[in-house]
Structure 1
Amino acid sequence: MTSLIPTTALPLARRVAGLLGLALLPSLALQAQTTNSGTDKFAQLETLLPTPNVFRTASGAPGRDYWQQRADYDIQVTLDDARQALTGRETITYTNLSPDVLPYLWLQLDQNVLEKNSITATTEVSQLQDRMTFNAIEGLLSDFDGGFKIDAVTSRDGKALKTTTNYTMMRVDLPTPLRPGQSYSFNVKWHYNVNGQQVRRNGYEYFPEDKNYLYEIAQWYPRMAVYSDNQGWQHKQFLGSGEFTLPFGDYKVSITAPADHVVGATGTLQNAAQVLTSTQQKRLEQAKNARKPVLIISQAEAVQNESSRSTKTKTWNFAAKNVRDFAWVSSRKFIWDAMGIKQNNKTVMCMSYYPKEGNPLWGQYSTEAVAHTIKTYSKYTIPYEYPVAISVHGPIFGMEYPMICFNGGRPEKDGTYSAQTKYAMIGVIIHEVGHNFFPMIVNSDERQWSWMDEGLNSFMQYLTEQEWERTYPSRRGEPRNIVEYMKTDKSLQSPIMTNSESALQFGNNAYAKPATALNILRETVMGRELFDHAFKTYAQRWAYKHPTPADFFRTMEDASAVDLDWFWRGWFYTTDRTDLALESVKSYTPSTGDPAVEKARLQQLQAAAAPSISAQRNATDLKSTLIDEKPELKDFYNEYNPLAVTAADQQRYAAYRAGLSPEQQQRLGQQQYFYELSLRNVGGLVMPVIIQLTYADNSQEIQTIPAEIWRKNNEKVTKVLVTKQPVISFVLDPFQQTADTDLSNNAFPRQPAASRFDLFQQQQQAAQNPMQQAQKSPAGGEK
């Protein structure tokens, strides 16, 4: 800290009055007159957000004339386990609830992303390396015959309808335009080859040991695209990153598979008596009120079923109401467990399907993670209203659909696993089950804005992980975890508000950065009470509807009375980073005005001050001065002590105090310390200023200044803090809660960065699986 400014140079009355407050005003006035160049970071977002209307209000709530379309499905599908192929037919009933007349309908053909000449394949960039993996070469040489094979599109009476296919979209021209309030039913027949596990989102896994397949089937039927008030048809091509936007409806689905397969799916099983044994039905009933998962199919039963090769088929019938999609799984290998939990006095069946290769991890953790996710998300958003929630272990590491999701995380063959495998598995189950809320219920547009489902869901995943275990090693959510990404060159980043297919670093852009932003909003900007209420309000307003980013932004402000435009602008519309610097601190101590006190203090300062190097050397080198040799040159000032208290001093002080009010006299006797902090916004992202003060007695205090401190000058401000005891250090963001990318400029006085270096003779390889290592004796033998 800087030394105290000498106050004896000022007249006593002016000195005391100034240090008690008046001297603080000029710096604040100067600050208010200064503005930085460029866009005002506190400018409102009205020019960027769509104009409110009768469909979507300025508060962020659905308007009085809000509408959305409906699509109901009746589907029959057959799995060919010998050829890994599907054949299906469906009847779609599309209801036009918009005020518009529709001459045609658009369907999504997402499997076409796997066609040889798909837009994804032809536009994907690639590069040859000196060393290439087999997988990389196979990707370049793949001859997989993917994509939908549309056999027929007909009206209910069997007449062919005119269609036009544009890569992953198909237009169906209607015989007569569909007017508001009308419904139209039509049929689609199709087939396609199921892709292997190397392709994300759906496919099969082959197990060579027992020659079985495990199928996770999704994007498997032609699906209606969304037609909405804010953009008309959402028929952007599916290129691989931007996921799915779908209308709600009811589903009736019949799945025909080998008779020895076990099938799980979105919705509730309608014909349990025909496809399950009496023992399995009893176990399923028992599981409804169980405190821990009940095995419907045990591992021993699943292993026995692996060797079966039935030539017959079995049809499983499922029904689902008010969902936006449908997915299913099928295999001989499935172990199946279940446990019921209560939500709004209704039983939700939390279930898991997994092969023996997933144990012991899956049997111990999967269904418990499903139940924990449903309970935690329901607490922060809306109660889960669907009857089931399913986690399946197979070829896909993580993908979500209504009531069912596909998850990874497999132990070693000896049953051991690393901590990373365990927490990655629990984390992905929480994440994918959590997608039931975002975007399966709060049905945002994934094709356009991945962050609205992945980012919000990753934030909720963080909260749920922390309620699973206090020391849970969450990957995303903690501000310090996003720092390395925020520090990268801006040319390698995209704003969060970037189309899903154009984001440069998809994981950071769609998942990590928005999740961190929401955590900072909750913990640092808004506080938990305001944030939680606003976030729940958003979920309640837009449950089973189609929200946009503007609806989210506006609702968060509407329900909290917090102006967040600066936050959305900085975090979502720019690639600015947090880097607040504490450049300097000036310290002031107000005078008591008492000459006896003040002159004694100055005497102590003079006595403590080290003489200059010249004075030190002159003390020995100069034998005498002219005044020593000629004393007659001395006068009054050679004997005068300006720090001696005189009677005149006492009289002036008494006269000064007599003119003060009792309150002002009390203020003179208080011990107070004034500190002027010079703050700079280096990174461009305005954020609250969180300051830790450490006092002379080593006690500490945290002071939080809202981000609005930067509203008059986005780049540099000063702030005066007043304390009752001296401060020995100031630290910005001591708990790293703002994602500050440079901590070296956060402390005053400056603090060296703490680090260590290792001394070693030979690089040691850390054990990746301590559980496996622990099973061996110190001598290397098995325990």
Structure 2
Amino acid sequence: MIPLTGSSQTTQQSTETIYNQHEVFDPSFFTQSGNMYRSASGIPGPAYWQNRANYEIHATLNEQDTTLTGEVKIHYLNNSPDSLHYLWLQIDQNLFAPDSRGAATTPISGDRFDVKGYTQGGEHIHSVEVAYKGKSYKIEPVISDDRMQLRLPVTISPKGGAVDVKVNYSFSIPRYGADRMGRLYTKNGVVYELAQWYPRMCVYDDIKGWNTLPYMGLGEFYLEYGDFDYYVTVPASMIVAGSGVLQNPEDVLTKAQQSRLKKAAGSDSTVSIVSESEIGTDAARPTTKGNLTWHFKMKNSRDIAWSASKAFIWDAARVNYPSGRKGLANAVYPVESKGVHRYGRATQYLKQSIEFYSKHYFEFPWDNATAVAGVALGMEYPGIVFCMYNIQDGNLFHDVTHEIGHNWFPMIVGTNERRFMWMDEGMNTFINSFASNWFNGGEYGDTTNRDVMQMSRVLKNSTDPLITAPENMGLRDYGQYYFKTAVGMKILRNVVLGPERFDYAFKQYIHNWAFKHPQPDDFFRIMNSAAGEDLNWFWKQWVYNTWQLDQAVTNVRQATEDVKEGCLITILNKQKMVMPVLVRVTEQNGKVTNLKLPVEVWQRGPKWTFKVNTTSAVTKVELDPDHDLPDGDLQNNVWTK
């Protein structure tokens, strides 16, 4: 075989490599069998079970001392095959107690999820009572940080046993609630964002039994599904925005506001429900004296949240679902957030994001959604999202579309955020990119491969794999949950599987696990099965390790003295990560050949030689010419004659 003329100094690249094919294509990875609860194909098994918690809540906002008092009644259904002798509940407001684990583990310098400095924080449990088979029992709870155990005098029977729990409680509302909730002071009044505001059942599942990891700031939530019927009593001067559907508009809204809401329900354009000029006036409320109680209901949800303020401007518009069903998108915000560059467009950001995700992934199951301008930078709850009051234009759009996107991950697909943050933040970030490119013809979109190129730098500096639990991840590194996961999904879709196969498998995952509790293995299995591809090599390196990618061209030569007999190209995998190989070959006569080699070329070792049919001398060989892969060294990707 004759080397190409003049190639002696340009074909030789470093042949050093740390690649080991046995690490990547590891037959011992992910070998556990499916079972009756979770099938080998990644769908819920024939005996899959899930417990359920229905809530009735009555709460009062006391503005004089910024406290909330409440009573929650929980109807808890034990669908598990186990008898239950005790229950665990989350009392998340104990995060703000001075002696909480979250406070103890907050850096001296502080961070986004800072819980220090609020000396009045903590949840006060005034009484607990359970009722089982017609008998009531008072319970002395055992409280451990922000978890509460109820040791029962009875045994809840398996496969359908039910118990009723009643808890009376109160807490002081923190001003900055770890970027999840809190109080924003504006010139027309306080904006209250209430979340993690009632004792909530811990999840009991077939993986861990009781899931009792404490709430410490970064790690979010894992919750049972159920129906919510809740009442919030606030000063009559306030407007309340809440998860679910308002049940008593005639009691809490003026006739004019009720009429405007009906108009908004039939309008794709934004309709003003409460204008700036009406804030603080008698005409804006049915009464300005005493309190009013707002009553909401939400079906089959894992959580609820709400916001209240006398400072709210309120806009709304119709949401159109693929099935023909209609809903309502709302935005509430203070005058500090008004204007076309700020929350004046928030209703449209919310409406059109919901319509996009409903069309492409799973129809939004609830009728209403609201974007609230407040103190939280960005936080999601079913049917309501909290966004920072002072952001605008593209930053506001991306915040709104990201937070409402969380209604698909994890509010519909109910993953365990406290253990597997990548499964909600990352998958949501992945679908956000499509919504951004679609909205208003790409007004806030990015259609380049910039993210993939930046990923190579992230991989070089990565110390923790995606599977790392949130409380173990460095506070400067947790952005990987968002970014690395989303880029990985892009690579699977664009390079490994192709859009048609990926989209089909991804939708199978969403539809099979809607309102259920998938684990990472379930996601891996269903993607493998529905796409028809063994992707274990990808899951191992992208989720469980911090490996890097570096593909290189090491040698280019003619197959024979006749250039029309083809060209032999040798490539090297220098780092531990593998990917398919994308090759562009340019010839002297201008002909360009694009090739894609499957990832299997690396199954037997780090070096591979392949032949390209040519019609003239080769002048350039380039790997990954469009930058679809996070290659860490682009210089060795190119050979030129």
Equivalent position amino acid for 2:466 in 1: I
In structure 2, the CA distance between the partners of 1:187 and 1:168, relative to structure 1 (3 Å rule), is: same
Equivalent position of 2:567 in the other structure? 675
Gaps of 5+ in 1: 7-33, 128-134, 412-420, 592-670, 751-783
Equivalent position amino acid for 2:169 in 1: W
Query: How many Å apart are 1:479 and its aligned residue?
Result: 0.8
Q: For residues 463-494 of structure 1, what are the alpha-carbon distances to aligned partners after superposition, in whole Å with 9 as ceiling and x for unaligned?
A: 11111243635599831232221122x5xx21
- d(CA) in 2 for partners of 1:246, 1:35: 43
Of residues 118, 127, 151, the one that matches 1:152 is 127
Equivalent position of 2:257 in the other structure? 280
Moved over 4 A (4+): 34-38, 303-311, 473-477
In structure 2, the CA distance between the partners of 1:93 and 1:307, relative to structure 1 (3 Å rule), is: closer
In structure 2, the CA distance between the partners of 1:576 and 1:141, relative to structure 1 (3 Å rule), is: closer
SS at structure 1 position matched to 2:543: helix
- d(CA) in 1 for partners of 2:542, 2:601: 18
- d(CA) in 2 for partners of 1:477, 1:465: 15
- d(CA) in 2 for partners of 1:141, 1:427: 29
Query: How many Å apart are 1:38 and its aligned residue?
Result: 7.1
Q: For residues 550-591 of structure 1, what are the alpha-carbon distances to aligned partners after superposition, in whole Å with 9 as ceiling and x for unaligned?
A: 111111111111111111111111100121111221223454
Equivalent position of 2:65 in the other structure? 83
Equivalent position of 1:497 in the other structure? 467
Of residues 356, 371, 374, the one that matches 1:391 is 371
Equivalent position of 2:12 in the other structure? none
Q: For residues 487-510 of structure 1, what are the alpha-carbon distances to aligned partners after superposition, in whole Å with 9 as ceiling and x for unaligned?
A: 22x5xx211111121122443321
- List aligned pairs for 1:436-515, cutoff 5 A: 436-468=407-439, 469-470=441-442, 472=444, 478-488=451-461, 490=462, 493-504=463-474, 505-515=476-486
In structure 2, the CA distance between the partners of 1:160 and 1:55, relative to structure 1 (3 Å rule), is: same
- List aligned pairs for 1:181-192, cutoff 5 A: 181-192=160-171
Query: How many Å apart are 1:694 and its aligned residue?
Result: 2.0
In structure 2, the CA distance between the partners of 1:140 and 1:235, relative to structure 1 (3 Å rule), is: closer
Cα contact 1:691–1:704 (8 A) shared by 2: yes
Structure of higher RCO (CA pairs closer than 8 Å, 6+ residues apart):
2
Equivalent position of 1:246 in the other structure? 223
Equivalent position of 2:324 in the other structure? 345
Asked if residue 325 in structure 1 is aligned to residue 303 in structure 2, the reply is: yes
In structure 2, the CA distance between the partners of 1:62 and 1:103, relative to structure 1 (3 Å rule), is: same
Equivalent position of 1:545 in the other structure? 516
- d(CA) in 2 for partners of 1:445, 1:49: 22
Query: How many Å apart are 1:5 and its aligned residue?
Result: 7.9
Of residues 309, 315, 334, the one that matches 2:312 is 334
Cα contact 2:274–2:284 (8 A) shared by 1: no
Query: How many Å apart are 1:289 and its aligned residue?
Result: 1.6
In structure 2, the CA distance between the partners of 1:198 and 1:318, relative to structure 1 (3 Å rule), is: closer
Gaps of 5+ in 2: 7-16
RMSD: 2.5
Query: How many Å apart are 1:252 and its aligned residue?
Result: 0.7
- d(CA) in 2 for partners of 1:499, 1:141: 22
Cα contact 1:201–1:218 (8 A) shared by 2: yes
Structure with the bigger percentage of strand: 2
Cα contact 2:21–2:602 (8 A) shared by 1: no
Cα contact 2:98–2:116 (8 A) shared by 1: no
Cα contact 2:102–2:115 (8 A) shared by 1: no
- d(CA) in 2 for partners of 1:541, 1:285: 35
Asked if residue 740 in structure 1 is aligned to residue 631 in structure 2, the reply is: yes
- d(CA) in 2 for partners of 1:124, 1:388: 36
Cα contact 2:438–2:445 (8 A) shared by 1: no
Equivalent position of 2:85 in the other structure? 103
Query: How many Å apart are 1:346 and its aligned residue?
Result: 1.3
Q: For residues 131-184 of structure 1, what are the alpha-carbon distances to aligned partners after superposition, in whole Å with 9 as ceiling and x for unaligned?
A: xxxx89xx7982521110111111347642131111111101122010011110
In structure 2, the CA distance between the partners of 1:295 and 1:122, relative to structure 1 (3 Å rule), is: same
Query: How many Å apart are 1:678 and its aligned residue?
Result: 2.0
Equivalent position amino acid for 2:127 in 1: A
In the superposition, the TM-score normalised over structure 2's length comes to 0.92
- d(CA) in 2 for partners of 1:78, 1:678: 72
- d(CA) in 2 for partners of 1:402, 1:106: 22
- d(CA) in 2 for partners of 1:306, 1:742: 66
Equivalent position of 1:130 in the other structure? none
In structure 2, the CA distance between the partners of 1:203 and 1:35, relative to structure 1 (3 Å rule), is: closer
- d(CA) in 2 for partners of 1:518, 1:743: 22
Structure with the bigger percentage of helix: 1
SS at structure 2 position matched to 1:728: strand
Cα contact 2:372–2:385 (8 A) shared by 1: yes
- Segment drifting more, 48-57 vs 282-291: 48-57
Query: How many Å apart are 1:88 and its aligned residue?
Result: 0.6
- d(CA) in 2 for partners of 1:305, 1:394: 24
Instruction: Report sequence identity in percent.
Output: 34
SS at structure 2 position matched to 1:40: helix
Equivalent position of 1:518 in the other structure? 489
Cα contact 1:305–1:332 (8 A) shared by 2: no
Number of residue equivalences: 619
In the superposition, the TM-score normalised over structure 1's length comes to 0.75
Equivalent position of 2:11 in the other structure? none
In structure 2, the CA distance between the partners of 1:305 and 1:689, relative to structure 1 (3 Å rule), is: farther
Equivalent position of 1:407 in the other structure? 387
- d(CA) in 1 for partners of 2:185, 2:100: 26
Q: For residues 3-42 of structure 1, what are the alpha-carbon distances to aligned partners after superposition, in whole Å with 9 as ceiling and x for unaligned?
A: 4489xxxxxxxxxxxxxxxxxxxxxxxxxxx996574312
Query: How many Å apart are 1:452 and its aligned residue?
Result: 0.7
Q: For residues 43-66 of structure 1, what are the alpha-carbon distances to aligned partners after superposition, in whole Å with 9 as ceiling and x for unaligned?
A: 24x644643100000000000000
- d(CA) in 2 for partners of 1:476, 1:321: 40
Of residues 346, 359, 376, the one that matches 1:379 is 359
- d(CA) in 1 for partners of 2:343, 2:20: 59
Larger Rg: 1
- d(CA) in 1 for partners of 2:517, 2:449: 26
- d(CA) in 2 for partners of 1:502, 1:674: 53
